[in-house]
Amino acid sequence: MKKQFPALLLALSLLLSIPAQAAQTAAFARSRSYDGSFSDLTPDSPFYDNVAALYEYGLASGKEDGSFGLEDTLTVGQAVIFAGRVRSLYRTGEAEAAAAYRRENAPAALAYLRYLQAEGVLEPEFAEEPASLYQPASRAQIAHILAGVLPEEALPPVHDELVAAAYATRRFIPDVNETTPYRQDILDLYRKGVSVGSGASGAFRPGEPITRGAAAAMITRLADPELRVRPQWDLADLPSAAGTTLADLVEPGSYHISPANQEELESSLRHMLSQGNEQIVFYYPLLSEAEARRLMNQALTVIKAHCEQGYNEVRCTRGAGLLTLSFSAAGAGNRTQEYRTAAMEAAIAVHDRLWAEGALRSDMMELDKARVYYDWICANCAYDYQAGDDSLSHIPYSLFANRTAVCDGYTGAYNLLLKLEGIDCSTVIQGDHIWTMATLDGTEYHIDTTWGDSGNTVSYDYFAMTPQYSRTVHAQQSA
């Protein structure tokens, strides 16, 4: 037989199952109907629905002259009063919980301020001087006052990813940056549908005073989900390298089973890399041991010219005239492919983030883009002075994952980023040092990210060098 719950327990279980959105709706019930009493508010007014809602929620009754004061400047104290009433309505169902904080001969706004401070909405030092309550509120200040009025379950960040990407490009919310007062509170209003700013770029105008009409829009969006807004920003044109593979970054070659010269060897190895393979088979029935070793070393040199691929070691097996070359990363063991994949994913993330942040733009020359990546490499890596021959610091993975590398790790990671940008690049190998050779806007340059990373600063002495100057400098440094 099905067990029956007592009516009281059933009612309690139903009450506890009410979602936060329903609880908020119950707290913000409109207690009266707007009757057109504000003389300056007409159905054509841009904030008509918001001001009417403010009245119906019992949050405002207008001014003594019968107007709402749509274009009047809102003071800090008035913003605090509105915020206190919203918080009280949410917490108690009544708008005037701050009454308990009123003191004789003290400004009314001070009671709401003390209430919000007791609730943890505003910090104790906010508006320490009572006189500041009579000052016009800036748009940044009201963002700070409103941002913590409701908990996240009542006011969730529904546009989080959209706002993060839009803000990062610097094409949207352009007048808010790291130095803007209450920057995080401003962005929270965008994330939660309380603000979309103004104009196509969604500018917030943080330093400007806010009108009572504009403030009414923000305040009522706290209370009523139906009044919340969504930014209409198009981010579809942001480039993404997602889905690109290491094999995609290699110009395909043709496979020659018995390469007769350096050109055919390079073409065969490009074919291997462009197919995503780590192994290639050649047929030389009369090859001596010394000749096989020479061929193996030649092949490794070719592969190191593609150091973004993460291979720097080769093994050779022979039998029945077949010579099999297997490439890997020294010190990686059987994890070479794992490290290659991780490096590629990290490089794609860097590429996409720099575009999203606006550091890279479509109107930039290739030289400018190469400099952005040069800066990123130098800022995000330290030279690994402890690296041995089998250290992972010789491959791009270490730079992205461990933030340490030596010259082939630096160059491999840098070339990987450049190739994601569609920039043609290779390497220059001189002795035990390696650096980048890139064609930027039709001109060949040499770029040495290893030497450019000079510790606490970035040296541009080794960026965009002419080939002649580069060889001179490297010869002098190596002498």
Q: What integer best gives the mean pLDDT of the chain?
A: 91
Cβ neighbors of 248 (< 8 A, separation 6 or more) are: none
What pLDDT is recorded for position 24?
55
pLDDT digits (tens, 9 = 90+) for 214-271: 999 999 999 999 999 999 887 776 788 989 999 999 999 999 999 999 999 999 999 9
Q: Give dist(CA 62, CA 158) in Å, integer.
A: 32
Least confident of 23-27, 104-108, 324-328, 404-408: 23-27
Task: Tell me what the mean pLDDT of segment 3-29 comes to.
Answer: 46
Percent of all residues in the chain with a pLDDT value above 70, rounded to a whole number: 93
Shortest CA distance to 109 belongs to which of 76, 68, 81?
81
* Cα distance between residue 24 and residue 278, in whole Å: 59
Reported pTM: 0.59
Predicted pLDDT at 143: 98
What per-residue confidence (pLDDT) applies to 201?
87
Nearest one of 370, 374, 351 to 438, comparing CA atoms: 370
Tell me the chain's radius of gyration from C-alpha atoms. Answer: 33
281 exposure class (CB count in 10 Å sphere: 0-12, 13-18, 19+): middle
